[in-house]
Structure 1
Amino acid sequence: MFSQIFDAIEEWMRELLTGMITSNLDTMFTDVNQKTGEIATQVGQTPQGWNGSIFSMIRNLSDSVIMPIAGIIITLVLCYELISMLTERNNMHDIDTWMFFKYFVKMWIAVYLVSNTFTITMAVFDVGQHVVNSAAGVISGNTAIDISSALTDLSATLESMEIGELVVLALETLIAGFCMRILSVLITVIMYGRMIEIYLYTSVAPIPFATMSNREWGQIGTNYFRGLFALAFQAFLMMVCVAIYAVLVAGIQYSDNLSSSLFGVMAYTVILCYSLFKTASLSKSIFNAH
């Protein structure tokens, strides 16, 4: 009688743990699969296409708050440029007409750059979007992970385990599922953080643009342009990370050892998050932006 009771309890615990493990495996990679599938779409959008409301707000702030400051800066820069041009030629004793022509051309270019700041800035991201879209047509592969369907003999494997092994495996899948949800949040933070950085970067664009007409101050504008290209081409590096991740996922060799297979797949997702995080510093290093 007692043996039947213990057998019934054991069978109930086995069914409970098996159902928990199967459920955890089925839902473990849902969030990560969704986020990795969205990366190409997210990074391939321009600032105005990603969120038009935020873009309009940033542009209004730039035009109403930053542009007057840029006007003051460009006035000071042009005055300094004129004084330097006149004094460096033998203290105004050796002045040619072409000097003033050169100055007016430089002044017109400086005013044109500041007046068309947002157009030029968005052109950089249009180039980045073109590169990403072209890369998306070349890159092929599925980033979705489905470990439960890959393990066709999952039921037989679970049935052969003891109660203690099932308890350990259930805890492992529970912890792994929690970690995968954290990783999916990190992927979202990386993608949204990049777009927020772009909006912050473009909001003050008129100020570095106002310095580009001067040789000394122009380093500010030059470095700003490098930063723009770094942000634009960071999307391409993120696409490469996703492509590498798709190849790694496609080559996963699943085994009967669920723990090793599970944590092996998790390792690839951790590598993806780390790679996406490093794209910002790598892109800035490539374009020598600081």
Structure 2
Amino acid sequence: MASPVESIKETFESFAGIITEVTSLVNQGPAQHPGVYSVITEIHQAILPIAYSLLTLYFLLDFTSKSMNFAFFRMETIVSSLLKLVFAKFVMEHTLDFLKIIFSVSSSISSMVGSAGANASLYKIDFSAMESAYGDMGWFDQMLYEIKLTPFEWILQGIKVVIILVVFGRLFQLLIYTAAAPIPIATFINDGLIDKGKRFIFDYAAVCLQGIIIIIGCIVYVAIVANVSFGNFTGNGSDMAIWKALITALALLMVVIKSGSWARKIMGD
């Protein structure tokens, strides 16, 4: 049976390895799942006729509004509206390409961040003091010490599950946004509704950014824990050291759960 010190070693090393795993999952966008993506593309194409109808409706509403305000008495306004119609149609036809570009930029950033953070040499930990102190304990103290460390190990394992769930939830968001994209893109033709289309682009970018925030959160957590002396988990002050580790782990959990809202705030929501 593994000692608590060995369990802590394995738990931390596996958690440090999650940076590479999360980076890989974050970089799996809609196009990296061909079977699912083909279904999403079919839904996207099915929605396009509705989006074109909305585009026409929004254009007519904008045209009527400007006509009633005599804005179309100026030639530049007419030309501007026609160019806007052509632009909106072009964007709608190439929506999938534009979304792929946004995701590709995000994926490049997350790959760079994840590669730098996955460097194992950054998280070298000396467990010798912890092993020595544990070896000097009596049987009863060892059992008590194992009970103290168990919540820390469980929380780390639980956080790993939550991270995976949030990352896959993010993938679902990207897929749904991709499928329904033509509808908000149609608002680009109407001056009164164009902010909704821009908001959709920003929201899509925010979902992409969420993955980067999760990766950075994991790196920061592992770096903090790696710079804590694990020798403090034994001897005088061990209870306080364990509580600090628990609180730090819970702080990471908060970062993961709130990563979506933080991403939207960064994007200006």
Residue equivalent to 1:276: 256
What's the Cα RMSD here? 3.0
Question: Matches of 1:181 and 1:35 in 2, distance apart?
Answer: 11
- In the TM superposition, residue 207 of structure 1 has moved relative to its aligned partner by 0.5
Using the TM superposition, give the Cα deviation of residue 47 of structure 1 relative to its aligned residue in structure 2, in angstroms.
Answer: 3.0
Contact map agreement 1:35 1:188 (CA 8 A) in 2: no
Q: CA-to-partner distance for each residue in 1:101-128, whole Å, 9 max, x for gaps?
A: 3332221112112111111122111222
Contact 1:24–1:173 (Cα < 8 Å) also in 2: no
Task: Give the equivalent residue in structure 1 for 2:145.
Answer: 169
Alpha-carbon distance change, 171 to 195 in structure 1, aligned in 2, over 3 angstroms: same
Indicate the structure (1 or 2) with the bigger Cα radius of gyration.
1
Number of residue equivalences: 265
| Other-structure match for 2:12 | 29
Distance 1:137 1:273 in 2: 22
Q: Are residues 143 and 210 of structure 1, via their aligned partners in 2, closer, same or farther at CA, if it must alter by over 3 Å?
A: farther
Q: 1:75 aligns with which of 56, 71, 83?
A: 56
Out of 1, 15, 21, the position equivalent to 1:38 is 21
SS at structure 1 position matched to 2:231 = coil
The structure-2 alpha-carbon separation of the partners of 1:183 and 1:102, relative to structure 1 and needing over 3 Å to count, comes to closer
Relative to 1, partners in 2 of residues 1:277 and 1:155: Cα closer, same or farther, differing over 3 Å?
closer
1:79-138 deviation per Cα after TM superposition (whole angstroms, max 9, x unaligned): 112222322218xxx745554433322211121121111111221112222333344465
- 2:152·2:245 contact (CA, 8 Å) conserved in 1? no
* Residues 70 and 206 in structure 1, CA contact (< 8 A), matched pair in contact too: yes
Q: Give 1:63's aligned residue.
A: 45
Separation of aligned partners in 1, 2:121 and 2:243? 17
Counterpart among 100, 118, 129 of residue 96 in structure 2: 118
1:285 CA drift (Å): 1.0
Structure-1 residue corresponding to 2:36:
54
Q: Match for residue 206 of structure 1?
A: 182
Aligned to 1:225, the other structure's residue is in SS state helix
Q: Is the contact between residue 132 and residue 239 of structure 1 (CA under 8 Å) also seen in structure 2?
A: yes
TM-score (norm 2): 0.83
CA distance in structure 2 between the aligned counterparts of 1:142 and 1:155, rounded to whole angstroms: 21
Correspondence for 1:195: 171
1:286 has 2:262 as partner: no
- Quick one: structure 1 residues 245 and 181, their matched pair in 2 at CA, closer, same or farther if it must change by over 3 Å? closer
Contact map agreement 1:29 1:146 (CA 8 A) in 2: no
Identity %: 17
Instruction: Report the alpha carbon displacement of residue 71 of structure 1 after superposing the two structures with TM.
Output: 1.8
What is the letter of the counterpart of residue 146 of structure 2? A
Q: Point out the more displaced range, 206-215 or 244-253.
A: 244-253
Q: 1:161 to 1:75 in 2, by over 3 A?
A: same
TM-aligned CA deviation for residue 181 of structure 1? 1.7
Amino acid at match of 1:237: I
Please tell me the residue identity of whatever aligns with 1:198.
Answer: L
Contact preservation (8 Å) 1:210, 1:221: yes
